[in-house]
Every structure is written in C-alpha cells, then in structure tokens.
A = this chain, B = another copy of it.
Amino acid sequence: MNQPKIRLDEHVRSASEAFQFLKSTTVKERAKFMHAVAHKIESLSPFLLETAHAETALPLARLTGEKARTVGQWRSYANAVEQGIYTEARIDLADAEKGKNDIRKYSIGLGPVVVFGASNFPFAFSTAGGDTASAIGAGCPVLVKGHPAHPQTSQIMADAITDLVQEFGWPKGAFGHILGDHVEGTDTLIGAYLTAHPDVKAVGFTGSYRGGKALFDIANQREEPIPVFAEMGSVNPVFAFSNVLDQRATDLAKEYLASLVMGVGQFCTNPGLFIAVKGAGFERFKGALATAISVVPPARMLNQGIYENFERNRNTLNQQEDVHILSEVLSEQIDGQGCAQVAITTGKSFLKNRLLSEEVFGPFGLLVEAESYEEVFEIAKQLKGQLTATVAGTIDDLQAHRDIIDTIQDKVGRLLFNGMPTGVEVAFAMQHGGPYPSSTDSRFTSVGPDAVKRFVRPIAFQNWPNEFLPEELKNANSLEIMRIVDGVSTAASLKVDID
C-alpha cells in the first residue's frame, strides 16, 4: 500500500497546527488525556487481542500482559508528567541592585514527532506505545507510521486515540496514523519522507540497526537536523565468572536458556552472547544447556520475514571459522518456526571476527569460551554499545574483576547482577537505551517516564509579563509542581511585587 505525497503533507501540516495548541496545554491537561488513553485501551474489547494474535502469532497470554503493560505505561508517564518532572521549571527572580533580570525556563515540546512502532511489541512499543505516550506527555503531536506486520492492531489503537482527541476537543492533528510503504509514484519510503519533512521535529524508533541508522542519517542531513531516538537492539552479553560457574552452572544454564528462548528470542534484550573462561564450571554449563535446549519446542516467529532473517543470520554465524553448533532443538524444522540454537566459539576467534558480535534476532545464543580473564577483558573492551549486560558472579567475583566490570559499564545502558535481561520493567529507574549502536543517543531512554525527555527542549522567558507566562512558570504555582527558584527546589507560589 502506498500513500500520495499530498496526503502525507496534509498529515504533517495538521500535526504542526495541533502543536500550536498542544504546546500550550498544561502538564495537568496532558496527564488527564494520557489517563484517558490508559482507560480506553484497558476497556478495548477482546477483538484487540484476537487481532494482534492473528497478526503477530504472539500467544494471547503474552498479549494480555503486554496490553496491561501498555496501560501501565500511559498511567505512569501521566503521573510523572503531572508532577512536572519533565517541566524542569527554573525561576531566577529579578534583582535590580545586581542588575539581574527575571528569567524563567521550562521545557516545551519539540513539535510534531514521527513514531515508528516495533514488530515484536504490537502494543507496548507500537502505535499506542511508549514513544507515543512520551511524545504526548511532552506536548508533541504524534504521527505514527503503523508497523506493516500488524496494521489492523495498529488501526484499532489509532482509532482509540483518535476518538479521545475528538472527545477532548483537541485539534485532530494531535494524533495521526499512517499505514503504507512508499510515497505513491516514487521509490521513497514513507518513513524516510516523513523524517525528512521540514515540519517534523523529532523521531522515535524501535527496530533494527539498519532501519534506525537510515532514519538517523536522513535526520542529520536535513537542512535543519532533528533528534532521532532509535533503539536498535543488541546482543546483551552475559559475563559469567568462575565462582558462579563453580557453584551453580546448571541453574545458570537453565536461567540463560529461559531468557534466550522467551518469546522465541524476539526481544531487544535477548542475551545473545555468553562469555566465560574455560574450565570445569563452563563444561557443566555447556552440558546442562545442551540437554535443556534439545527439548525446547519450536515456535512460530512474528512473521515470515523475521523467520527468514533468523535462519539466514544464524547460518551465517555458524559458517564462520571456529564457530560450532553446541546444541539445538532436536525437532523437524517447520517453515516460519524458530528453533532455539546455541553455538560456541573461542575468545580468540571472537576477538578476530567482528561479525560474531552481531545480533541474531531470534532464539540464538553464542557462547564464547575464553582462555583467561585477560581475554575476557579484551572482549569487554572490544564490545560495542549494548542495551544491557549481565554479570553472573558472586561478591568475590565483583571484587576480583573490577577492571572488567568497569569496562563493561562503559558499554551498556543497564547492568544486571545475576539476572537475565529480558523483561524490561516500566519504572523510573529503568534505562532502555545505551551507547551506540544499541541506540542513537545514550543520553536518553525509551522505557520509563524519563522517555519524555527525548521530546522536550528548554525555553527561557526574560522579563516576561506574568499573565503571559505559561502556567508552569507563573508566580502562582497553580499546578503545584516542583520548581527551582533562585537555586532552591520549592513548590511554593512566589510573592513578587506587581508593578
């Protein structure tokens, strides 16, 4: 399906118009809308789940959980927005004696944001997902490019938000939804066209490195470059240290496998890499893993394209020098179904061949058997940016390998101790993002209320008349948000002489 250029332009124009309204809404008004979206999604009929199940092959139980998570996202982001956390109001009062002006700063939306949903999370990272919630929370109109893998699910979600835009009396451009591939009559992808559009001011993306990088490049080459936050996945290495391998290799193998095959391995936080020093502990780990993996049933992947990529990518890895299949599912391969597989290589080969550190989206893990901790240190140094890394170890291991762990820290957004990375909690303290190439900007997150920060910018008002200031900065703090006034945090209203 293609879209005429004129229609895309109309969507953007409509979003720009809506921005003039949205940017002047208060945090309370936006929070109210966001709570309404949460409620609306919560009350959507089972048809939503059935549609998503048909389009993505994700089990109904998983989709039910994801729906609840999505509702929770809207609510928690709304609460944070309402508290004014992202308003970052700062007021420096005038001081005539010191010749100081009255300066007041707060955060305002960047303008229309284009959101690209993900194939693997039809609710939480798609049309009504975290990017949309955080952009709305920031006061930005959203234009969603619906994911082609679940267009009907996307439409149901879009309709729900559109209904609320109307109900709230917001301008219709506050939320737009576009399905399709190309700009009609051209080779230009709709996503590329929108990202290049002068009236689009930011992009949120979850997906592949190739897709994210393409949008990032387009955005930076515009006459006016714009921020793109692309979360592009990673291999999420697990570094297992000697004590834990000595003490609980079998349990660790089970935990690792459970994380690896969860959701047929289709999570950006899938632990695709496992690194440890050779020895008896690692041998036990391998043995337990091989036994456990052989009975994992194959399962349908999200779509044929993802399945084919999985097959191709793991075959490419398995054909590399010094890579051997350790164990795989002992069942007949069925088209479209992902069979879990674990391969193994040496630390030396891993360091030589950069292809081995590429993500294989699906239930594939690569074990790296290092000769020594010196080699593990080299591996940590060579590691690209990751969403997460796990340190499987004991307190003694943490103490003994500070250098390695310090280096791992530089490469990740989230560092886990004895836990597997799948399962990204929606929480204030969550960081979902990380050094490039796991995301395009390590300073931001796409999960947790802090995701709002991606889409706001500060604006300062100097000697601006009180009645024309945004509500967030007026003397009377009617929104009861925390503000830094002359260097001190306070929710108090200001007593300023009216002249």
Give A contacts to B, CB under 8 Å.
19-20, 23-24, 79-80, 85, 88, 90-92, 100-101, 103-105, 108, 110-111, 216-217, 220, 224-227, 384-385, 395, 398, 406, 409-410, 412-419, 425, 427-431, 433, 435-437, 440-443, 445, 450, 453, 456-465, 467-468, 482, 484, 487, 489
- Are B409 and A459 in contact, CB atoms less than 8 angstroms apart? yes
Q: Which residues of B contact A459 (CB under 8 A)?
A: 409, 412-415, 431
Given contact pairs A225-B436, A437-B224, A429 touches B216 in the complex (Cβ within 8 A): no
| 6 closest residue pairs by CB, A with B | A431-B460, A103-B429, A92-B427, A90-B429, A90-B428, A105-B429
Residues of B within 8 A of A435 (CB): 224, 457
* A227 to B442 CA separation, bound complex (whole angstroms): 9
Q: Is the CB of B484 within 8 A of A415?
A: no
Q: A91-B429, A419-B101, A429-B104 are in contact. Are A227 and B462 (CB under 8 A)?
A: no
Which residues of chain B are within 8 angstroms of A417 by Cβ–Cβ distance? 461-465
For residue A358, give the distance in angstroms from its CB to the closest CB of chain B: 14
CB distance A430 to B460 under 8 Å?
yes
Give 9 CB contacts A-B under 8 Å.
A80-B487, A88-B450, A90-B450, A92-B427, A224-B437, A227-B443, A416-B463, A417-B463, A443-B458
List of B residues within 8 angstroms of A425 by Cβ = 92, 100-101, 103
Tell me if A111 and B216 are in contact (CB < 8 A): no
Q: Smallest distance from the beta carbon of A421 to chain B beta carbons, Å?
A: 8
A462 and B224 within 8 A (CB)? no
Additional A-B contact list (6), CB under 8 Å, known A105-B430, A431-B460, A443-B458: A20-B406, A80-B487, A104-B429, A110-B443, A224-B385, A225-B440
Question: Which chain B residues border A419 with CB–CB below 8 Å?
Answer: 101, 462-463
Q: Are A443 and B465 in contact (CB under 8 A)?
A: no
Instruction: Give complex CA distance A419, B23 in Å.
Output: 25
Interchain CB contact (< 8 A) of A462 among B88, B92, B415, B465? B415
Interchain CB contact under 8 A, A224 and B436: yes
The docked-state distance in angstroms from the alpha carbon of A429 to that of B465 is 16
Among residues of B, the one whose C-beta sits closest to the C-beta of A473 is: B429
CB of A468, distance to nearest CB on chain B (Å):
5
Task: Tell me the smallest distance from the CB of A385 to a CB of chain B, in Å.
Answer: 7
Complex Cα distance A181/B22, Å? Answer: 48
Residues of B within 8 A of A456 (CB): 443
Q: Which residue of B lies closest to A391 (CB)?
A: B464
- Cα A427 to Cα B460 in complex, Å, equals 11
Residue of B whose beta carbon sits closest to that of A89: B429
Q: How far, in Å, is A454 (CB) from chain B's closest CB?
A: 8
Q: Nearest chain-B residue to A428 (Cβ)?
A: B90
CB-CB < 8 A to A225: which residues of B? 216, 436, 440
Among candidates B101, B413, B467, residue contacting A458 with C-beta atoms closer than 8 Å: B413
CA distance in complex: A430, B102 (Å): 10
Which residue of chain B is the closest to A106 with respect to CB atoms? B429
> Given A101-B425, A425-B101, A458 and B450 touching (CB < 8 A)?
yes
- The answer to whether B450 and A414 touch across the interface, beta carbons within 8 angstroms, is no
For A440, the chain B residues whose CB sits under 8 A away are 225
Kindly list chain B residues whose C-beta atoms are within 8 Å of the C-beta of A217: 220
Looking at the assembled complex, report how far the CB atom of A7 sits from the nearest CB atom of chain B, in whole angstroms: 23
Interchain CA distance A113-B183 in the complex, whole Å:
41
Contact of A468 (CB < 8 Å), options: B398, B429, B457: B398
Does B90 lie within 8 Å of A487, measured CB to CB?
no
Give the one of A23, A104, A427, A461 with max B CB within 10 A: A427
**A409 CB → nearest B CB, Å:** 7
User: From residue A211, how far is it (CB to closest CB) to chain B in Å?
Assistant: 16
Q: Contacts A92-B427, A224-B437, A428-B487; is A460 near B414 (CB within 8 Å)? A: yes
Least Cβ distance of A414 to chain B in Å? 4
